[in-house]
Structures are given as structure tokens and as C-alpha cells.
Structure 1
Amino acid sequence: MNIHKMKTIFIKEIKELKRDKISRIMVFLLPVVIVLVFGYGMALDVEKIPFSILDEDNTFTSREISYKFINNDRYYTFKGYVKKQSEGIDLIDRNRIRMLLVIPNGFEKDLKNGRGSSIQIIEDGVFPYRASISKTYSNIIINKFNIEQFETKNINDLFIDLRIRYWFNEEMRQKNVTASGVLLVVLFISPAIFASLLIVKEKELGSIYNIWTSSISKKEFIFAKQAVAVLISFLNYFILFAMIMVLFKTPFKGSFVLFTISSFIYILVSTALGILISTFVKTQVSAVVATSIICIIPSILYSGYLTPISSMTNEAFIVAHLFPNYYYFNIIKMSFLKGFNLNIFIKNIIILIFFYLLFISISITRFRKYQC
């Protein structure tokens, strides 16, 4: 390959990017916007649930269990007491609260007499996932209260002292996963779109005829175009990585050098896919639409970003392994949450390299140097 010819194409694209304001906005601003939208909007943590309390017993014990909920300010936000159940249900209907804690009359008396007592939790079930998580929080608080009651009666030896320790994501914050995983989405969509447009615009503007009639080979042309997309996307990677660390305070437990290498290879894969898509379309609009659809589905649905691959059906499990996103997300989880493992890293890197060679080989085969 002639390096001088490739350099000429490379410099031409850089100069055009400097002159084209819209392209600069799309290339540099779009990834930042996606990080902000996904980082803040895709956080699935259920916290600060607004709730009220209906205390019909109004005793020391009822206030004690009420304070268990009120003091748990990470997961609940206390919105005050209500005087009757209909008032609390009305607050739920008007979206003022999401949960109502009802402590019945005689609650303390039943406990002191050794009889079982109960409280009522009324959840807003419009969003089942949020209601289910809120119910889990309530059960934990109530179970802890029950254990404390038994301990005061010196019969705690009948119970197992269960202490749960969460490995890796110790704070159990979903934002640590969604914020770090946004690199999976951005570094697949943005570089692919940019790479596809670099070639499709030549077709749409008619300048592709200059390439067809020039002495440059199709390999030189494709690799020169890809070099531009890789350079810009790799610069974006450092910006996005800094945003994730600073804005979302996501922990990083791996090797930055090795993670950067894996991200570079992942960018090679995404740009090669964009070039492959450009061989099928003729307009920039169709390139953007096709690339977006092809990239978004595997990035979000079949990577493990939102749903663990292990919990999918057998068919979806197999499909997930057919996309490079799954393997890069393995590296992201390892680097940000679990800590570095060389064997796992090498296995996933080899597979990503295989995807790159596959995409770029098909792209070179499909690209026609001369018009048929």
C-alpha cells in the first residue's frame, strides 16, 4: 500500500472536517450528549421513594418502626403523616407519593401480648419494577425490626445472623453499570456512523468518480478513510472516559492502558462495520438510519447492558454471542467493577480482533474500485 496516497486522503478529510461545522458538531457533540442522556436517564436505581405514614396506633413501638422508614433516607423520602387511608390513597393517585405505610390500631398491644401483628404497605403499581423493589426495601426494614424485637426478649439464639456482602459493586448502584456501559453504546454507534458517512458522502456528491479513476487502490482508500474515523473516535474516547469518571464518579478497578487498548480495538470494529454498511447504501440519510438501527439493537439489547445475558432465553443467549458488543461489555465490567483478569481480557480481545478482520475483509471485497 502507498502510504503517501493514504496520507493525502487522510489530510483531505481532516481539512473538510475543519470546514464543516455540522460534521464537527455531530462527531464531537453527539457522543457527549449520548453519555449525558444514558448516564443520567438510564440509571435504574430505585431511590428516594416518596412515602407517607398513617399511624393509627400512635404508640412508642409504632413510632419506632415509622422511624426505621424515615431514617432510611437513601431509599425513602418522608412526605409526612396522613390522618386517614383515603387521604394517603389520594396522594398516590395524584403522584405525590409512591408508597403508604399503614400501622393499625393495637399494633403495640398485640406485640407485647405475644400475638402476631401486621402493618399494611400500599404501593403504587403503575411501574411494576419500581413497586417490586420498593416492596423489597420494606420487607428488609420490617424483618430487621422483627429481629430487634426478638433480641430484646433474649430469644435471638433461635435466628441465624445473616450478613450479606456484595462483591464488586459494593454500594449496589445501578448507575455504576449504566454510566460505565455507556461507552459500549457510544463507541459503537458514533464511530460507525462517522465512518459510513466518510464513504457515502463521496457517492452522494459524485466525488467517488475521482476515486474510481485514480491510481489509489480500494484498500488504500478504505484504510485511509477508516484512519480518520478511528483518530477522531479515539480522541472522543478519552473525553468520554473522563466524563464518566468525573461526572458519575464511577469506580475504575482495572488497567487503564489495557482498557484503552481494548477500546481502540472496539473502535476499529465499529468503524469497520460502518464502512461495511456504506457499501450497501448510496445516501448519507440512509447511511445514518441503517447504521443507527444496526448498532443500537445489539448495543443495548444483546450486550448485557440492561439485561444479563445469562437470564435471556436460549435463542437470545446465542444471538448475543454473535455481536462484538457482548465481548467489549465483558471488558468494561471487568475494568470498572470486578478488577483486571488477564485470561478473560485476552479471550475477549481475540474475539474482537476476529470481528474486525471479518468486517474489514467483507468491506474491501464489496467495495468496487470502478463503476460497473
Structure 2
Amino acid sequence: MKRFIGFIKKEFYHIFRDKRSLFILFGMPIAQILLFGFAITNEINNVDIAILDHSKDATTKEIINKIAASKYFSIKQMIEREADIASVFQKGHVKAVLNFERDFSKNLIKDRKATIQIITDATDPNTANTISNYVNAILQQYQKQLNKDITIAYQIVPQTRMVYNPELKSVYMFVPGVMTIILMLVSAMMTSISITREKELGTMEILLVSPLKPFQVIIGKVFPYIFLSIINAVVIVLLSIFIFKMPVQGSLFLLALESILFIISALALGILISTISATQQTAMMISLMGLMLPVILLSGFIFPISSMPMPLQIISHIIPAKWFIIIIKGIMLKGVGLEYLWKETVILLGMTVFFIALSVKKYKIRLE
């Protein structure tokens, strides 16, 4: 056991003496979280929405049909009560709810004015704002057709309400995404580089013939990165709370557990990358191209997944970062617990077990 503890200490000393490693570990997180604070506007397609139609008359049905016929929205659910709106958003099934007032058609004819409330999930402020603008455009087009042949115009008044992020702060979008990128790259890339460095220098064989067992060598190599990745996660959360004034609505304990689960998943990926990489440069290139780009493009961090082509939507399901971003937004912004996030947690746990099993199998093959 003393040898094992001494080996772990040696790994910490090795990291702290390498200036490049320290820059990647601590410089990159601070730089990314500051640089990614710019608003990003994107088009949307096939966004899932819900309808709450109190009126259920011919006019509301016509408007709903026009919205459903557009390429921008897909009606996921029809709800009956306003009390169900919060639950629908917490489950993450929809990005917006259209709430038609009672006697919509009657009010439109009698008072020449009727109201639609547009309630959007503003955990992604740019998408929420885009959804509101698209619905307004459809309503204006319908209103223009309605008023084509009459003197006194009918007026449909949309009222927009943003939930979870009423001020549309972009920090609510980029903090979860940047945290995911940092934890993925620090855990996976640094682990793969660390192990391939031992291979490249020819010291891995020396370690494997030492009194330490092979699994102890691997655990010893990855343990410091678990510790350092947790520090990065804590730094990001503290920066988001105290500098960017981002609230954490849910359980910090659950957030910590989910973050550790994601870190372990990324570490397993790093070990897997190291099995197919002979040099540090190869490992770094695979990590950047095979992990960073999918995390940014296919995780839902910047681009709405529902707007992507179907093949990319299917591929996004195997990206661990996608599920972690859903989890972290649910905890930090919506304040939901495991009862709403159990499915994403089980998927992430299953991926972690799969990556670990595959990594162990690959290493056995390489070591035999």
C-alpha cells in the first residue's frame, strides 16, 4: 500500500513539474469560461412544443394547425391544465408551451383582440428567444391573412414569458456547456497523454514489472486527474455563482455525484484512446478531433439537436456530454432532482460501465 501511495504522489509531482500540463489543467478552464460568454444565435427546426388550449374553437385549431405545419415546430403534447406546465418543462419534453386564453375566438370577434401566451424554456436563452420570434412571425402571418378583407383589423396579442432564465442571460447557456467541455478534455485528453507518454518513453513496461499490479498502475495514473477534474468543476461552479451570478437551484450533492460520474466516464474514454495511440501527439489529436468537436457540435451545447438532420440526432445519443448537459441544466437551472433525471443518469452510468469494460479488455490485450 505504501508503494501505491508513493506512486500516486509521484504522479502529482510529475504533473506539477510539467508547465504545459498545468496550463491545460488550470489555464484552459478559466480562458474558456470567459471566452464562451458571447451570445450565439441559431436557427431552429422541429422544436418540440406543447399546447394548452382553453378555448378549443375553430380559430385556435386553425392557428395550431399552421404552427404544426411549419418546419420549425413539432407539437409533442396537448395539456389540459396550467398546473401541468411546470411538470412538462421539468421533464425536459418540450421547449415551449403555447397557452390560448378562454373564449379565444369569441374575444377576437367581440373585442377585436385575443391573447396567446408563449412560455419558453430559457435555460438556452438564444433558442428561447428564437422560438418566441418564430411563433410571433407565424401569428403575424395568420393575422395578416385574417385581416385581408375586413376594415377593422383583428389583433392577436402574443405574451411571452421565459421560465428559468427570465432575463435571458447567456451565461445560463455557456456555463453548463463549458463545464462539460473542460471536464471531458481534462479527464480524457490528459489521461490518454499521460499513459501514452509512459509508452513513448518506454517506462510503462518498467511500471508493469514493478511490484504494483497492472490495475494499480492504471488507477494510479488516472487518480490525480479525478482529483484535479473535481477541482476544475468546483472552480467553474464558484465562478458561475460569484462572478456571473448564476443560481444553483438544485442539490449541490447531486451535482457533485453526477459530475464525478461524468469524470469517470471521460477517464475511461481517455484510457481507451491511449490503447490505440502510440504517441502523445496521436492521443492529443484523437482527443481533440474525436471528443472536442462532437462535444461542441452534437451535445446541444451550442446547436439545438432537434434542428439537426436525423442521422446526427441519432449519433448525438452516444455522446456522453449530451446527457451530462441535460443533467447539469436540470440541477442548476430547473432545480429538479433524480426523479426527473434518472433516465439520463442511467444512460450515463451505462456508458461509463461500457467504456470501463472496453478499456480493461483492450488493456489486457495490449499487456498480454
TM-score for both structures, normalised by structure 1: 0.65
The change in CA–CA distance for 1:6 and 1:174 in structure 2 (over 3 A counts) is same
Counterpart CA distance in 2 for 1:262 and 1:45 is 29
Match of 1:29 among 19, 27, 36: 27
Matches of residues 36-185 of structure 1 in structure 2 within 5 Å?
A: 36-40=34-38, 43-44=39-40, 158-185=154-181
**CA apart distance, 1:246:** 2.8
Given that residues 37 and 170 in structure 2 are in contact (C-alpha distance below 8 angstroms), is that contact kept between their aligned partners in structure 1?
no
Given that residues 259 and 335 in structure 1 are in contact (C-alpha distance below 8 angstroms), is that contact kept between their aligned partners in structure 2?
yes
Equivalent position amino acid for 1:279 in 2: T
Counterpart CA distance in 2 for 1:24 and 1:161 is 55
Counterpart CA distance in 2 for 1:24 and 1:174 is 29
For 1:149, the equivalent position in structure 2 comes to none
Question: How many percent of aligned residue pairs carry the same amino acid?
Answer: 29
**CA apart distance, 1:158:** 5.0
Given that residues 272 and 359 in structure 1 are in contact (C-alpha distance below 8 angstroms), is that contact kept between their aligned partners in structure 2?
yes
Given that residues 269 and 359 in structure 1 are in contact (C-alpha distance below 8 angstroms), is that contact kept between their aligned partners in structure 2?
yes
Matches of residues 316-327 of structure 1 in structure 2 within 5 Å?
A: 316-327=312-323
For 1:252, the equivalent position in structure 2 comes to 248
Name the SS for the 1:172 alignment partner: coil
Counterpart CA distance in 1 for 2:199 and 2:179 is 31
Counterpart CA distance in 2 for 1:239 and 1:221 is 28
Match of 2:9 among 8, 11, 24: 11
Name the SS for the 1:165 alignment partner: strand
* Residues 1:315 and 2:333 are matched in the alignment: no
Count of equivalent residues? 272
Given that residues 298 and 322 in structure 2 are in contact (C-alpha distance below 8 angstroms), is that contact kept between their aligned partners in structure 1?
yes
Counterpart CA distance in 2 for 1:166 and 1:370 is 53
Structure 1, residues 253-308: CA drift from partner, whole Å, max 9, x if none?
Answer: 22221111111111111111111101111211111111111111221111111122
For 1:109, the equivalent position in structure 2 comes to none
Matches of residues 228-239 of structure 1 in structure 2 within 5 Å?
A: 228-239=224-235
* Residues 1:294 and 2:290 are matched in the alignment: yes
Counterpart CA distance in 1 for 2:207 and 2:364 is 10
Given that residues 45 and 173 in structure 1 are in contact (C-alpha distance below 8 angstroms), is that contact kept between their aligned partners in structure 2?
no
The change in CA–CA distance for 1:371 and 1:311 in structure 2 (over 3 A counts) is closer
The change in CA–CA distance for 1:344 and 1:298 in structure 2 (over 3 A counts) is farther
**CA apart distance, 1:177:** 0.8
Kindly indicate which of the two structures has a greater share of residues assigned to strand: 2
Given that residues 268 and 356 in structure 1 are in contact (C-alpha distance below 8 angstroms), is that contact kept between their aligned partners in structure 2?
yes
The change in CA–CA distance for 1:237 and 1:163 in structure 2 (over 3 A counts) is same
Structure 1 stretches of 4+ with a deviation exceeding 3 A read 3-6, 155-162, 368-372
Counterpart CA distance in 2 for 1:370 and 1:215 is 19
Equivalent position amino acid for 1:22 in 2: R
Q: Computing the radius of gyration over CA atoms, which structure comes out larger, 1 or 2?
A: 1
Equivalent position amino acid for 1:26 in 2: I
Given that residues 275 and 366 in structure 2 are in contact (C-alpha distance below 8 angstroms), is that contact kept between their aligned partners in structure 1?
no
**CA apart distance, 1:314:** 2.1
Counterpart CA distance in 2 for 1:161 and 1:33 is 43
Structure 1: 5+ residue runs without aligned partners?
A: 47-129, 145-154
Equivalent position amino acid for 2:182 in 1: V
**CA apart distance, 1:162:** 3.5
Equivalent position amino acid for 1:270 in 2: A
Q: RMSD of the TM alignment (CA)?
A: 3.2
Counterpart CA distance in 2 for 1:289 and 1:14 is 24
Structure 1, residues 88-135: CA drift from partner, whole Å, max 9, x if none?
Answer: xxxxxxxxxxxxxxxxxxxxxxxxxxxxxxxxxxxxxxxxxx9xx99x
Match of 2:239 among 229, 238, 243: 243
Name the SS for the 1:361 alignment partner: helix
Name the SS for the 2:210 alignment partner: coil
* Residues 1:332 and 2:328 are matched in the alignment: yes
Counterpart CA distance in 2 for 1:265 and 1:245 is 22
For 2:121, the equivalent position in structure 1 comes to none
Counterpart CA distance in 1 for 2:347 and 2:321 is 11
**CA apart distance, 1:18:** 2.7
Counterpart CA distance in 2 for 1:156 and 1:236 is 61
The change in CA–CA distance for 1:370 and 1:352 in structure 2 (over 3 A counts) is closer
The change in CA–CA distance for 1:355 and 1:8 in structure 2 (over 3 A counts) is farther
For 1:150, the equivalent position in structure 2 comes to none
Counterpart CA distance in 1 for 2:366 and 2:160 is 66
Given that residues 200 and 278 in structure 2 are in contact (C-alpha distance below 8 angstroms), is that contact kept between their aligned partners in structure 1?
yes
For 2:341, the equivalent position in structure 1 comes to 345
* Residues 1:193 and 2:181 are matched in the alignment: no
Counterpart CA distance in 2 for 1:22 and 1:348 is 35
**CA apart distance, 1:367:** 1.5
Counterpart CA distance in 1 for 2:14 and 2:228 is 13
Counterpart CA distance in 2 for 1:37 and 1:280 is 33
**CA apart distance, 1:21:** 2.6
Name the SS for the 2:161 alignment partner: coil
For 2:146, the equivalent position in structure 1 comes to none
Structure 1, residues 200-247: CA drift from partner, whole Å, max 9, x if none?
Answer: 111111111212322322222112212111011111111111122233
For 2:102, the equivalent position in structure 1 comes to none
